[in-house]
């Protein structure tokens, strides 16, 4: 069985940029988002800079903590 590692750098950077925009539009700091989502501050920072490929479950928690729509994080 062959397993391929899927990582789209441009998508991760765009997701991070959109997350930062959504967070700042709501007047939240990374620390605020970390507290509200239950995620580590360092994880929020790594997502916003495109350094990690987040799971769907993690993104779901972030979307709920922001009170956002999923489409907001995936805008082009």
Q: Chain centroid to CA 60: how far? A: 9
Summarize pLDDT for 21-68 with one digit per residue, the tens. 999 999 999 999 999 999 999 999 999 999 999 999 999 999 999 999
Inform me whether the pLDDT recorded for 6 exceeds 80: no
State how far the Cα of 39 lies from the Cα of 37, in Å rounded to an integer. Answer: 5
Q: Is residue 26 part of a domain?
A: yes
Q: Is residue 64 part of a domain?
A: yes
Inform me whether the pLDDT recorded for 76 exceeds 90: no
Q: Residue 61 is part of which domain span?
A: 9-73
pLDDT at 2: 65
Q: Is residue 3 part of a domain?
A: no
State how far the Cα of 31 lies from the Cα of 33, in Å rounded to an integer. Answer: 5
Q: How many domains does the chain have?
A: 1
Instruction: Look up residue 64 and give its two tokens.
Output: 């709920």
pTM above 0.85, yes or no: yes
pLDDT at 41: 98
Q: Is residue 4 part of a domain?
A: no
Q: Is residue 2 part of a domain?
A: no
CATH code of residue 66: 1.10.260.40
pLDDT at 39: 98
């Amino acid at each position: 069985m062959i397993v391929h590692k899927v990582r789209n750098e441009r998508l991760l950077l765009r997701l991070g940029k959109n997350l930062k925009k959504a967070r700042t539009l709501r007047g939240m700091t990374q620390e605020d988002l970390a507290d509200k989502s239950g995620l580590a501050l360092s994880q929020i920072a790594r997502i916003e800079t495109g350094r990690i490929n987040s799971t769907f479950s993690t993104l779901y928690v972030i979307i709920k903590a922001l009170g956002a729509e999923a489409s907001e994080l995936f805008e082009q």
